[in-house]
Amino acid sequence: GAVVSQHPSWVICKSGTSVKIECRSLDFQATTMFWYRQFPKQSLMLMATSNEGSKATYEQGVEKDKFLINHASLTLSTLTVTSAHPEDSSFYICSARDGASGPYNEQFFGPGTRLTVL
Amino acid sequence: RKEVEQDPGPFNVPEGATVAFNCTYSNSASQSFFWYRQDCRKEPKLLMSVYSSGNEDGRFTAQLNRASQYISLLIRDSKLSDSATYLCVVRYGGATNKLIFGTGTLLAVQP
């Protein structure tokens, strides 16, 4: 299957700082990328859908000014957690869909980024 | 009510056992259905898609009942390596292509 990478794999930061997470599709062009968040013992929750060259679509309850998404190229999307607080500590996972294969093909998941805010 | 519901488990079974997981979904407009596997502190990985006619992949059998909005996964001859969380996933139709994840069922296969 296609490969999606995330960087960093884990990050620890102080409260109030901003953290940027990168999601890259390594061997395909991802017209759409998705950002999920997973708290311990809970399911993956979709935060936003990112389309290359346009604004991201955020799910209900997700603050777009706090979670900034940029999808400037077909292989890279970034999620910036601004002014992070301890309640933002979570496992952030991106997925990417190969646009060339049609709208209903598989999403490939990155390995996730574990964020801990002190 | 959650959009995708699963029994969280854990299911503790001996090696070689057969185990079944169930899942229900609330949105009748759901179009596609999947089982994913997630190991501890890792990303989810697609195990298999679920088709209306039922489908099998080796020791794994998935069933879908659209009328009851019910999905199942059967694992035969459990292996230690099957220990993981199994996520029931539903995709809505249309341009969004959104995946909705269940909370997962934890399986622990004992030697």
Q: How confident is the model at residue A62 (pLDDT cuts 50, 70, 90)?
A: very high
Give the pLDDT score at B31. 83
Q: What would the pLDDT profile of B5-24 be if each residue is shown by its tens digit?
A: 998 889 999 999 999 999 99
Per DSSP, the three-state class of B28 is coil
Percent of chain A with pLDDT over 70: 93
Question: In this complex, do A104 and B97 lie within 8 Å of one another by their Cβ atoms?
Answer: yes
Nearest chain B Cα to A92, which residue?
A: B43
Across the interface, whether the CB atoms of B95 and A91 are under 8 A apart is answered no
pLDDT in tens, chain B (111 residues): 788 999 888 999 999 999 999 999 998 888 899 999 999 989 999 999 998 888 999 999 999 999 999 999 999 999 999 999 999 999 876 666 788 999 999 999 999
In this predicted structure, which of A19-23, A67-71, B97-101 has the lowest mean pLDDT?
Answer: B97-101
Proportion of chain A in helix, strand, coil states, percent, rounded to 5: 5, 55, 40
Is A85 exposed, middle or buried (CB count within 10 Å of its CB: 0-12, 13-18, 19+)? exposed
Report which of A61, A41, A95 is spatially closest to residue B43, judged by C-alpha positions. Answer: A95
pLDDT of residue A102: 56
Q: Quick check: B101 and A44 CB within 8 A?
A: yes
CB B77 within 8 A of CB B59: yes
Q: What does the alpha-carbon distance between residue B13 and residue B28 come to, in Å, rounded to a whole number? A: 33
